[in-house]
Amino acid sequence: MEGPRVDIDEELSRLLTRLRLDRTEIARRLQFLQWNDTDAARLNAAAERLEPAHRLFLQRFYEHLQRCHDLAGLIADPATLLRLQHSQYDYYQRLWQGPYDRDYVLDRLRVGWIHQRVGVDTHWYLGAYRMYLDAMLQTLLGEHPQADTYASLLKAVFFDMALAIDTYNFAQSRALEESEARFARALRGANDGIWEWHVEQDRLYVSERWASMLGLSLESLEQSSASWFSRVHPDDLPDLRRAIEAHLQGHTASLRHEYRIRNRADAYIWVLVRAVAEVVGPGQHRMAGSQSDIGRRRAAVEELRHAARHDPLTGLANRAQLAELLSQALKRRQRSGARETALLFIDLDRFKLINDSLGHAAGDEVLVEVARRLRNCLRPGDHLARFGGDEFVALLDDLAVVGDAEQIAQRMLDSLRQPLHLHQQTLVISASIGIAPLTDEPGLDPLQAADLALYDAKAAGKAQFVRYNDALQSAAQRRLQLESALGQALGRAEFELHYQPICRLAQRHAYIVGVEALLRWNHHGEVISPVEFIPALEESGEIVAVGDWVLRQACHQVRTWQRAGQQRLRCSVNLSIRQLQRSDFAALVAEVLQDSGLAAADLILEITESQLMQDTAQILASLRELAELGVRLALDDFGTGFSSLGYLKRFPLHILKLDKSFISGIPEDPESQIISQAIIGLGRNLGLQVVAEGVETAAHLGFLREQGCELAQGYWFSRPRPAAGLERLFDGADCFEGLWCLLDERTNQPPPGPSHPDAAI
Ligand code: C2E
Ligand code: MG
Ligand code: MG
């Protein structure tokens, strides 16, 4: 390996600075040697006279050198020998003639420096001076009686001088070694690679560790920046070069840059390079610093970054990453020729039931499986994120038309519908999906649009997808307005009860045996259905106050009718689970019964099957207390929830209300028939009364009679009516839509009044 080329002048000026050899120092040294002008004059005067002595000395001196084999090699070549003799002769001339100025000093330093570099030992150097002084002594003093003594003294003094210099050198090199060893230990501890780069000359030195970090040996690396930069990841090289340049230009206090570098196995590892540059001459820079392997730190950072942007359960992108993906997708849309992008907002139907009934661990397993199935429905390049709970969002990019998103949504619905086996249970899952295009239209947030469409899919019966349209937004606005007005509805007496007859089906007739109180909201002259506002009341908790009002109102009304002649009329009131969750609910019911005078046996409280699934000890306690009061309990909308027959035994129930969705399928849909038949049979076998809901046609009625179902309710008999409207029925002044009926089942006689063509059934 060839040593680096060194600029002697540069080195000498550095040496001068280091030795602090300025004029003052030179003067100080000469003064200590007691040098004065007389000395210079004396030497000058003798110079010429000593010329032959010098020539003779040089001849003898080199003969002596050739005998000492250590240095013989240096002067084997006659041309070199001649050159050396010449320059040494010149030196002696200068020694005697002066002048002893700064140039003189520089010359001496230069010669010393060169000798040191070629390997002339200080002992030999001093030895040569000793021989020279000896020769001059002989020449100047000749046969002086003390000349031999002085010559011997010179030898001893030079021997001592060499020893003194050795001691000084030793102490210095020892200090240097120690500092180097400390440095080396520190480096080993830091585990960093070291590098130094002379920028303009492109000389790069790297340490052993720098190379071994890459699995390389020092020898395999060229000593130029090419061996470094050629290993830098092409994507990172421009930034690295920029960072170096910025530091060299003085724009940064130091170089500190992370980048990837290729190791021996051709894999890229992350490193951190740190350095500072210094100016080492006009337009000359040297940079030196370290390089550390930051692979593990980067991996940890990467892991954290991943964790911050992913859902730990499903491994899908989380909300934070979805936001990034959306903004990237929106940017892409602004490019010309961009194709359509759509968002699917996916929400599992009734997922809460799974969590509540099977536990959260099972719920988690379901979510993981759902995530897997949804992902399988996507095309490469699409994204799926878990938005929260049981909500997922898919971002479908590069669609020919937004309508294509419907195909993917359908695929998802089909895939989710496949039975899911979980710990010996088989679950059937469904989801509702809202689809919205990703537009850059101001004012419409695509996620919100997809969410609105999802809301509509849920409202339309779940397990389906709905595509966003502008009407959904006005509907949502209406909902919002209604919800804010709803808070004041009770105070402003805007609620009203309608009543729908519940009839006993006798052989040829139907009798009103009870009424179901159904809540209506009169808002600015519009009658709003409970389906629209009950969920909002449930959510705000206001259903409790409103429900209590309904209970009190209905009990008083029915008692009033009883007093007016409908003695056996029963009162059905719908409950919210939130009312049952109160520990004092049974006491409240008892108080209302007392206050209104209604017998407990004439009150039926209806609770929907899906609400009852939120089974808690308090609910069970409330239901038992109510049953003890003598109040009867009905399970509403039976057959639509995650029907668990266990509930029928667990709760003190008296009545099953067969949901209208089954009746409406009759007679066309055989499945509805079979389920209705089964529920009616189940009720009979368990000793429960069954009320069929939603009876609208003669065919429905015929079917129920055939099945021996005794009780029914529906538009066929009467729509829900305000109290006054029902009184007209009782009076016989009005008929049911479709037929009239007997008011008092004991008489079994049609009341006087207009007869109906279909009266006999
Ligand atoms: P529900 O308790 O199952 O009440 C029966 C619903 O079916 C009523 O809807 C009724 O108008 C409707 N209906 C009756 N006969 C027929 C028919 O032949 N065909 C069809 N298609 N529908 C029929 P409404 O009044 O809109 O009430 C909806 C639901 O709101 C009720 O279902 C009940 O769950 C809830 N609800 C009503 N009032 C109250 C209340 O005071 N408190 C609570 N918590 N919920 C109530
Ligand atoms: Mg009901
Ligand atoms: Mg119902």
Q: Is any ligand 1 atom within 6 A of the Cβ of residue 636?
A: yes
Q: Is any ligand 1 atom within 6 A of the Cβ of residue 549?
A: no
CATH number of 312-468: 3.30.70.270
Q: Is any ligand 1 atom within 6 A of the Cβ of residue 550?
A: yes
Look at residue 750 in the predicted model and tell me its pLDDT.
Answer: 44
Reply yes or no: is the peptide bond before residue 757 cis, omega within 30 of 0. no
Q: Looking at domain 5-170, which CATH architecture does it have?
A: Orthogonal Bundle (1.10)
Look at residue 464 in the predicted model and tell me its pLDDT.
Answer: 95
Structure tokens at 171: 């102490």
Atom 23, ligand 1: residue with shortest CA distance: 694
518 closest CA partner among 527, 509, 510, 505: 527
* Cα 531 to ligand 3 centre (Å): 11
Say which CATH superfamily domain 191-299 falls into.
PAS domain (3.30.450.20)
What does the chain come to in residues? 761
Structure tokens at 582: 């109160």
What is the C-alpha to C-alpha distance for residues 202 and 5, in angstroms, rounded to an integer?
12
Q: Is any ligand 1 atom within 6 A of the Cβ of residue 6?
A: no
* Cα separation values, 650 from 209, 238, 611, 632, Å: 75, 73, 15, 15
Domain boundaries, given as residue ranges, for the chain: 5-170, 191-299, 312-468
Of ligand 1's listed atoms, the one at least distance from the Cα of 657 is 3
Residue 84 exposed, middle or buried by CB count within 10 Å (0-12, 13-18, 19+): middle
| pLDDT averaged per 10 residues in sequence order, the chain, 761 residues | 58 82 87 90 90 91 80 77 89 90 87 82 86 90 85 90 89 89 77 91 91 92 93 96 95 95 95 93 88 92 91 95 92 83 94 86 95 95 95 93 91 95 88 91 86 92 92 87 90 95 83 94 92 90 95 97 90 95 95 97 92 79 94 91 73 93 92 93 93 94 93 92 87 55 44 37 29
Look at residue 751 in the predicted model and tell me its pLDDT.
Answer: 45
Q: Is any ligand 1 atom within 6 A of the Cβ of residue 606?
A: yes
Q: Do domains 191-299 and 312-468 have the same CATH topology?
A: no
What is the C-alpha to C-alpha distance for residues 679 and 95, in angstroms, rounded to an integer?
129
What is the C-alpha to C-alpha distance for residues 579 and 605, in angstroms, rounded to an integer?
11
Q: Is any ligand 1 atom within 6 A of the Cβ of residue 514?
A: no
| For the CA of 658, the nearest ligand | 3
**Which string of DSSP letters, residue by residue, matches 41-106?**
HHHHHHHGGGHHHHHHHHHHHHHHHHHSHHHHGGG-SHHHHHHHHHHHHHHHHHHHH---SHHHHH
Task: At 425, give phi and psi (nearest 5°).
Answer: -115, 150
What is the C-alpha to C-alpha distance for residues 405 and 436, in angstroms, rounded to an integer?
9
pTM metric for this prediction: 0.55
Q: Is any ligand 1 atom within 6 A of the Cβ of residue 436?
A: no
Look at residue 735 in the predicted model and tell me its pLDDT.
Answer: 58
Contacts for 102 with CB less than 8 Å, ≥ 6 apart: 23, 26
H or E stretch at 272: strand 268-281
Out of 499, 574, 711, mutate this one to test ligand 1's pocket (max ligand atoms within 8 Å of CB): namely 574
What is the C-alpha to C-alpha distance for residues 447 and 346, in angstroms, rounded to an integer?
11
Look at residue 756 in the predicted model and tell me its pLDDT.
Answer: 37
Out of 611, 693, 697, mutate this one to test ligand 1's pocket (max ligand atoms within 8 Å of CB): namely 693
DSSP classification of residue 710 = -
Look at residue 754 in the predicted model and tell me its pLDDT.
Answer: 37
